Chains A and B, each alone.
Chain A
Amino acid sequence: MSHTLHRKGTTDNLSGDYVMLAMSAKGVNAANSSRALKDFFSIISKYDWVNMGEVKVGGAYVASFQDIVGGVRDTSVAHAVFHDKDEFARVIAEVKKADLGLSVTISGLLGIMNEVLTATGLSPHTVEVSLGIKGKTELLPHSDLLQITTMCGHGMVSQALARKTLIDIKRGRISLEKATELLATPCACGIFNPRRARIILEDLMDTWCMDEP
């Protein structure tokens, strides 16, 4: 379930993309962990997050904060996404201070995450890296579209939706803001980063042609 890994992008636009995930371990420390998971969401809510969610309830673009927190169970996986690395560092510092005992995993540019961990007096425990895509890569859509669709690691954001929103923006049928909100809705965990999607779409609006494959 490496759903926050394999996000495609450029160093530039990935520098605005940080995911944090908290959970307990089934059969180890999950019993009665829901309170700590709710506390985790309370901490997140104080910061400038760009998305958050829990898969059974949905992301922040389909569910309210109250619904997300209300749906938290011992087995929940809590997600939050940040655009700014300094804000991300502040959240990590507060989560560390809260000492909830939940396992916390972060995703983003490895160099920046290591800097942030050093600054907050933490060190990595386990790392996971992406070694790329193999097989019939010629069947994949344009890499520009993959930058958008791979922000939902469960593959819920279709290439057709990415393509359509891009064309609709170009034709003036939908605003950038509405387009990024729409793209965020299928991602049930709330790990799609609409702020980064906006940057990608803004960039593509200038270069993308209506007849791109």
Chain B
Amino acid sequence: MRINPGKCVGCGQCRVFCPMGCIAFTRKDKGGQIQCRINEDECVDCEVCLRANACPTDALEQPPAAWPRSVRGTFSNPLITHKETKVPGRGTEEIKTNDVTNRYKCGYVGISAELGRPVLGARLRDAERVFMVLAPLAVEFEKQNPLTSLLADPATGKLKEDVLGEKVLSCIVETIAPIERAAEILDALDKVAGEIESVFSVDLISRVEEDLSIPALEMLKREKRSYALNGKINIGLGRLCIKGADC
């Protein structure tokens, strides 16, 4: 995102909307016109400032971004649909359609680390650090996840060199593994946490067994790991044929 200096009147109305806090007041000389300027290295091209419709002079402009800058918008602006997943935002359908996709099968868990969430945003180099501690564990990285497509070498977890410095609002390292591997994946995430320059939020996905037991949650208890009281449940209403779809 850029501010057109020919249009900006320095009212500051846009600043408060920026999740990255990267819009600052500036002026050329003492006594000169105060304007706002975006620190483009910190800006993640989320377009929140633009959509806020706060600018009285239409000074905010989103120029087309060339590679590798283009990854900022595709991960940070939920209005952009990823070419790979056809899902807006930075992830996959994960549990939301598991009742028809069976992406997470009984006996397996999904464990994800969402870099930059909450609030801070993250450089993709942080995502690489997470990939690199998980890759030796031979976990499966979710192919549908757009971050996975940035891997240069899935065996080592190295990302494409030219994207490492790019900053995004968030991006998700998404894994699927047999439940027996869950504890070591979580241990690896604990270990890498000390090397991360930002933060990441961790989640765990599990199928519910027919007797309504949830083995992954029992595993968490055994491992003395706590989880939040609020969570997400797919309630199993999905059908292969949707009403009115003539199938």
Contact = CB atoms under 8 A, between A and B. Distances in A.
Nearest to B189: A134
B104 A126 contact: yes
Contacts of A129: 203-204, 217, 220, 227-228, 231-232
Nearest to A137: B199
B89 A55 contact: yes
A122 B46 contact: no
Contacts of B116: 155
Interface stretch (A43-51, A96-104, A170-178, A202-210): A96-104
Given A102-B237, A161-B17, A56 B230 contact: no
Given A2-B91, A26-B87, A102 B227 contact: no
A127 B208 CA distance: 7
Interface residues of A, number: 85
Given A6-B117, A32-B246, A128-B205, A134 B229 contact: no
B52 interface: yes
Nearest to B87: A1
Contacts of A92: 235
Contact of B186 (A55, A56, A131): A131
A25 B100 contact: yes
B234 interface: yes
A134 B193 contact: yes
B234 A126 contact: yes
B155 interface: no
Given A100-B242, A160-B16, A110 B231 contact: yes
A188 B17 CA distance: 13
Given A14-B229, A129-B217, A188-B78, A155 B170 contact: yes
Interface of A: 1-9, 11, 14, 17, 21, 23-26, 28-29, 31-33, 35-36, 39, 55-56, 75, 77, 92, 95-96, 98-111, 113-114, 117, 122-137, 139-141, 146, 149-150, 153-161, 164, 185-186, 188-189
Given A130-B230, A132-B226, A134-B200, 16 more contacts: A3-B89, A25-B93, A25-B238, A96-B237, A103-B96, A117-B235, A126-B233, A130-B231, A132-B202, A134-B199, A139-B198, A139-B199, A158-B17, A158-B21, A160-B15, A161-B16
